[in-house]
Amino acid sequence: MTQHDTPQHSPQRTSQHAGGLVGGKIALVTGAGSGIGEASARLFAAEGAAVAVADIHGDAAERVAALITDNGGNARAFTADVTDEAQVESLVTAVVEAFGRLDIAHNNAGISGAPSAFTDLSLADWQRLIDTNLTSVFLCMKHELAVMVEQGAGAIVNSSSGAGVVAAPGLPHYTAAKHGVLGLTKCAAHEYARRGIRVNAVLPGTTRTPMIEGFIGGNPDIEKMVTRGIGRGTLGEPDEIAQAAVWLCSDRASFVNGESMLVDGATVCR
């Protein structure tokens, strides 16, 4: 794990953000180099938090941190592979050393799996996705919670998916991982509720991320096919998911703990 500093914002501009939903908090966002993670990092900053922008791709983390600081926020970039416990531990330690504490974490890093019939899915493909989408959430929470317990407070939001509550056909590994994220979320919420820590999850619907854009490839027919199954008929935007994540980590959600919040434009409607 390596750390990259970006210039700090000026004291004069800090006050512009101090009164936001998470003003004065320290937030860590993983998978923050693009898509939902980038939107989350930028919104946490806009709502007053100092943000640790973490991604496996250091240049992507640097770009997002620079965008935040250029807009008057406070951010530093960190490079870490969240499937590696040593790197996760070093990441959390570095964030606390850089900012003094850790109040908020959005565990968002993840990948999509290639569709496969259940009996054709290789163990290697299964393990890679489980490591990235589920084990990484466990590792991040393990080390984030240790810090938050010492502080006596904290808020965590984990990124699951609609596939966390219903099946994603052809994606047994993705479905299992996203269901597992909800299990980890509920278990941690219950265990640490009396320690001043809240743990929730957001379940994004199909969202306009680089992954989805790459699949659509600018083809309106493919976009129509993708959006046909979305309740409102249009793709979600990364900022719409980020709005839910930031709210869940704010004091306005003080009695919300162990929640699995669908943010999918009325697609699942469980």
Lowest mean pLDDT among 55-69, 89-103, 217-231: 217-231
The DSSP element (H or E) to which 60 belongs, if any, is helix 58-70
| 158, pLDDT greater than 90 | yes
- Average per-residue pLDDT in the chain? 93
Rounded to the nearest angstrom, the gap between the alpha carbon of residue 230 and the centroid of all alpha carbons in its chain is 22
Instruction: Work out the percent of the chain whose per-residue pLDDT is above 70.
Output: 93
15, pLDDT greater than 80 = no
With bands split at pLDDT 50, 70 and 90, how would you rate the model's confidence at 213? confident
pLDDT band at residue 214 under the 50/70/90 scheme: confident
List the CATH code of the domain at 2-263. 3.40.50.720
pLDDT tens for 165-185 read: 999 999 999 999 999 999 999
pLDDT of residue 18: 58
DSSP state letter for 90? H
Q: How confident is the model at residue 6 (pLDDT cuts 50, 70, 90)?
A: very low
Q: What is the mean pLDDT of residues 74-79?
A: 98
The mean pLDDT of 123-143, rounded to a whole number, is 98
What is the number of other CB atoms lying within 10 angstroms of the CB of residue 190?
12
- Angle at Cα 147 formed by Cα 142 and Cα 149, nearest 5°? 90
Phi, then psi, of 248 in degrees rounded to 5 = -60, -30
The per-residue pLDDT for 13 is: 33
Rounded CA-CA distance 27/193 in Å is 19
Average pLDDT over residues 26-35: 98
Which of helix, strand or coil describes residue 257? coil
Grade residue 216 by pLDDT with cuts at 50, 70 and 90: confident
pLDDT of residue 8: 39
11: confidence class by pLDDT, cuts 50, 70, 90: very low
* Mean pLDDT of all residues in 222-231: 91
- Beta strands, E only, the chain: 2-5, 26-29, 50-55, 74-79, 104-107, 154-159, 197-204, 260-263
Instruction: Supply the pLDDT for residue 211.
Output: 80
Going from N- to C-terminal start, the domains of the chain cover: 2-263
- Return the active site residues: 174
pLDDT higher than threshold 90 for residue 3 = no
- Between strands 26-29 and 2-5, the pairing is unpaired
Reported as a pLDDT band with limits 50, 70 and 90, residue 104 is: very high
pTM: 0.92
CA torsion sign for 144, 149, 151, 156 is positive
State the average pLDDT over residues 30-37: 98
User: Between 3 and 133, where is the model more confident?
Assistant: 133
Between CA 32 and CA 11 the distance in angstroms is 25
Say if residue 123 is exposed, middle or buried (CB neighbours under 10 Å; 0-12, 13-18, 19+).
Answer: exposed
Lowest average pLDDT, out of 8-17, 59-68, 198-207, 228-237, goes to 8-17
Kind of pairing, strands 154-159 and 260-263? unpaired
Distances (CA, A) of 226 to 218, 219, 220, 230: 12, 11, 10, 8
Q: How confident is the model at residue 215, as a pLDDT?
A: 79
pLDDT-above-90 percentage for the chain? 86
Pairing of strands 74-79, 2-5: antiparallel
Which tokens sit at 253?
A: 């959600």
Residue 1 pLDDT level (bands cut at 50, 70, 90): low
